[in-house]
Amino acid sequence: MKARGLILAAAAAIALAAPASAQQTETIRLTIGSSHPPVIPWVLAMRNTVVQKTNAALQAKGSKYRIEWNEAYGGVLYNFENTIEAIEQGIADFGWVGTLWEPAKMPLQNIMFATPFVTDDPKIAVRVMDQLMEKNPHFKREWETQNAIYFSATSSDSYQLFTKFPVKSMADLKGKKILAAGAVGAWMEGLGATAVNAGIPNFYNMMQTGLGDGVVLIPSGAVPIKLHEVAPHVTYANLGAVTFGAFAANKKKWESLPQEVRDTMLPIAREYAATNIGIVQQREKAGLERMKKEGARIAELPADERNRWAAAMPNLAKTWADAAEKRGQPGKQIMQEYMSLMRAAGAKPARDWDKGL
């Protein structure tokens, strides 16, 4: 009887210990969002890093905390015009911010749109933007004033030219209507072509109906909409890879998280950029093969014509720097720092944008 009593006492102790252990786990509920769906590389990268890895990392550290993610992608909470506002206001705790749509609030983040033909390597683009964020207080301040914490940049593959006609020289573009989104349209100035502002959802139909003769776009964006069906001549001009957004968090929410959670999440959040680049490069390679199989005519713009294109552009960097100076920011100094970082990272610019400022 005494042995039986000891067994029952041990069993009771185990039973009591189990709930106590379970109670030690604390759940933190966070919302992660985007204006775009998770089939898009820069959204999928958030899911593949932060969402999928955080809890495993917390468990491996023996943390009592676990994250319950509310994934709100594809414009469920906000559209592409309100990505920074969504983070600023805490509509999403974490999410993708499209800085390309914020020329007024975050003009410094769009420096690469003012400097085409600098690098076609997205790894270099991200490395330089991360360095600017780390070293230059003006870049960091753009996020802080929006109540946001920057983790790492989103980079595209290099912009190329999709046309209805073959392009062997810049003269072939004269008099043509070239579709481009936002600031990319300025890249057509000086060529005798007309830039027509439009977005990816409209490119196919505009080309099909004759509203455009060509498109400047990244292959990873062109292939999914089958742009090569209506613009079968794909000319690799390598106008440049650019950073056009970033993975970020609401500052107040981030600072409210337990220190051990932030310490665990930070390196994962910074993996985001490499994950995004990997997805982009894989899709670009697969897309090139698909375009070839489906009849696209792939060509490379001769180096001398590419240099001629870069030289024909107006001084976009000076315009950008002058605008920064008017805002009270050292635009010329920033441009010089940026170009120096690009060269140090291995970029070989077709035009030295820091000259003639």
8 part of a folded domain: no
CATH of the domain at 44: 3.40.190.170
**Nearest C-alpha neighbor of 70 from the set 49, 92, 97:** 92
| Residue 223 vs residues 158, 198, 228: alpha-carbon distances, Å | 14, 17, 7
Residue 21: the pLDDT is 43
| Contact predicate 29/70, CB 8 Å | yes
**Nearest C-alpha neighbor of 338 from the set 181, 183, 110, 185:** 110
| Contact predicate 350/237, CB 8 Å | no
12 part of a folded domain: no
Residue 248: the pLDDT is 98
Residue 32 sits at φ, ψ, to 5 deg, of -120, 130
Residue 200: the pLDDT is 84
49 part of a folded domain: yes
301: domain range? Answer: 159-241+294-316
Asked whether residue 222 falls in the same domain as residue 254, the answer is: no
Asked whether residue 29 falls in the same domain as residue 120, the answer is: yes
Asked whether residue 231 falls in the same domain as residue 261, the answer is: no
Q: What is the mean pLDDT of each run of 10 residues along the chain (357 residues)?
A: 46 43 80 92 95 97 97 93 95 96 94 97 97 96 97 95 96 96 90 91 94 95 93 97 96 98 98 96 92 96 95 96 97 97 97 94
Asked whether residue 219 falls in the same domain as residue 299, the answer is: yes
Asked whether residue 44 falls in the same domain as residue 107, the answer is: yes
Residue 14: the pLDDT is 45
Query: pTM of the prediction?
Result: 0.88
> How far is Cα 149 from Cα 164, in angstroms, rounded to an integer?
43
Residue 60: the pLDDT is 96
Question: Residue written as tokens 């003269």?
Answer: 171
| Contact predicate 160/236, CB 8 Å | yes
CATH of the domain at 301: 3.40.190.10
Asked whether residue 102 falls in the same domain as residue 224, the answer is: no
Asked whether residue 237 falls in the same domain as residue 248, the answer is: no
Give me the number of domains the chain comprises: 2
275 part of a folded domain: yes
Asked whether residue 130 falls in the same domain as residue 267, the answer is: yes
Sign of CA dihedral 315, 321, 325, 330: negative
Asked whether residue 170 falls in the same domain as residue 219, the answer is: yes
Residue 18: the pLDDT is 43
Residue 33: the pLDDT is 97
Asked whether residue 237 falls in the same domain as residue 193, the answer is: yes
Q: Classify each residue of 118-138 as buried b or exposed e, where b means 16 or more C-beta atoms within 10 Å of its C-beta.
A: bbbbbbbbbbbbbbbbeebeb
125 part of a folded domain: yes
356 part of a folded domain: no
| Contact predicate 43/73, CB 8 Å | yes
Asked whether residue 144 falls in the same domain as residue 185, the answer is: no
355 part of a folded domain: no
253 part of a folded domain: yes
Asked whether residue 264 falls in the same domain as residue 115, the answer is: yes
Q: What order of strands is seen across the sheet that includes strand 148-155?
A: 65-72, 26-33, 94-97, 243-250, 148-155
> How far is Cα 182 from Cα 353, in angstroms, rounded to an integer?
20
